[in-house]
Chains A and B, each alone.
Chain A
Amino acid sequence: MIPAIGMVVGILVGLLFHPTVPVWMQPYLPIAVIAALDAVFGAVRAVLDGIFNDKVFVISFLSNVVVAAFIVFLGDQLGVGSQLSTGVVVVLGIRIFSNVASIRRHLFHA
């Protein structure tokens, strides 16, 4: 509950302060957001599976973000940045979909 409230607060803060993304961060932020969403959905699924662990969540969240940003960075260095970004988004999207499907089965049996 508290993390959910934290997210709402974060959204409000973002709406209030009109932050601009620093240039060096611009290629990585969208991918990092997708990776973090993947971690969040994975956490909800773990809660429903009964195997949730706070520490695991924090570590998976951070590692997801870092790895996603690193992959994009690597892609940019190799000249395949946009393709690799697309690949990462596809993979994370598939994971989010499967996690959501699992959550749905737990909550609605459907």
Chain B
Amino acid sequence: MSGGATGWRRLVRMGAPRATKANALATVLALLLGFAIVTQVRQTRSEGLDALRQTELVGLLDDVSQRSDRLDKDAAQLRRTRDELVSGGASDREARKAARERLSSLEVLAGTVPAKGPGITITIGDPRHEITDSVLLDALQELRDAGAEAVQIGPVRVVASTYFGTAQDGTVQVDGVGVRPPYRILAIGDPHTMAAAMAIPGGLAENVRQLGGHPTITQSQTIHIDALHSPPAHRYAQPVPTATPTQ
């Protein structure tokens, strides 16, 4: 402890003011040192690139240009990826559009959605009850021949599996649903073609007239077919997967 005390005492003794020339010089030097420290600290804080040496600047420039090269490469790769994604998205959109069109035409065909469009309305009055299911079946065949795309008989939507029959009391049945005269058939397709097909000699109109019925055929620009068919779930038939159709 005594050594530590001497140390402090020495410091204090030397710290006491002495009016020697050397002490004054030391003071000036210390003043300069403080001034220089502050100046340098300020300089370091404020200085930008202009205080750097040439070699440092060259190194910095090298560094920056290397980094910019790397970033350029990255940007090019990202741009390529983006282009691929964009074109992929476009072909996806095409595929989705085609699939949606297919779906809606199949829905019309399967009778699961309402349909509208130009077509004809056929009304068959049957005062003598001579019209049978086979007459309606013939009418349907002729309509299909003439290009009917959607057909409704009475309240029943006609689809691929539609069948005709006669109940025990003589009522005509379509898909198991009784249909009573006057029979009303709605068909969407080219109105002119279908009307002509109904009117040809030996066609539906003549047949019905021979049986004592009154056929009325009206063409119109908008026919609404809103009867729906609910398809049964298939128990046996399974679709066979095929190769994805290319677009």
Please give the residue numbers on chain A whose beta carbons come within 8 Å of chain B beta carbons, in ascending order: 1-15, 18-21, 26-27, 29-30, 32-33, 36-37, 40, 43-44, 47-48, 50, 52, 54-55, 57-58, 61-62, 76, 79, 81-82, 106-109
Contact = CB atoms under 8 A, between A and B. Distances in A.
A106 to B, nearest CB: 4
Contact of A14 (B25, B42, B51): B42
Given A1-B15, A3-B23, A47-B10, A61 B39 contact: no
B33 A33 contact: yes
Secondary structure class of chain B's binding surface, majority of residues:
helix
Given A7-B31, A43-B26, A81-B53, 15 more contacts: A1-B17, A2-B26, A3-B26, A10-B31, A10-B38, A14-B37, A15-B38, A30-B40, A54-B25, A54-B26, A57-B22, A57-B26, A58-B22, A106-B7, A109-B4
Interface in B90-138: none
B48 interface: no
A41 B31 CA distance: 15
Interface residues of B, number: 39
B56 interface: yes
Contacts of A43: 26
B27 A6 contact: yes
Contacts of A50: 10
A72 to B, nearest CB: 10
B65 interface: no
A19 B10 CA distance: 36
A14 to B, nearest CB: 3
B55 interface: yes
Q: Which of the listed residues B32, B44, B56 has the most CB atoms from chain A within 10 Å of its own CB? A: B32
Nearest to B35: A10
A10 B39 CA distance: 10
Nearest to B25: A58
Nearest to A15: B38
A14 B34 contact: yes
B33 A108 contact: no
Interface centre among A4, A36, A52 (most CB of B within 10 A): A36
A52 B26 CA distance: 12
Interface string B35-67: 111111011100000010101100000000000
Contact of B3 (A3, A11, A109): A109
Contacts of B233: none
Given A2-B27, A13-B35, A55 B10 contact: no
B200 interface: no
Given A10-B31, A33-B33, A47 B11 contact: yes
A18 to B, nearest CB: 7
A87 B124 CA distance: 113
B29 interface: yes
B20 A54 contact: yes
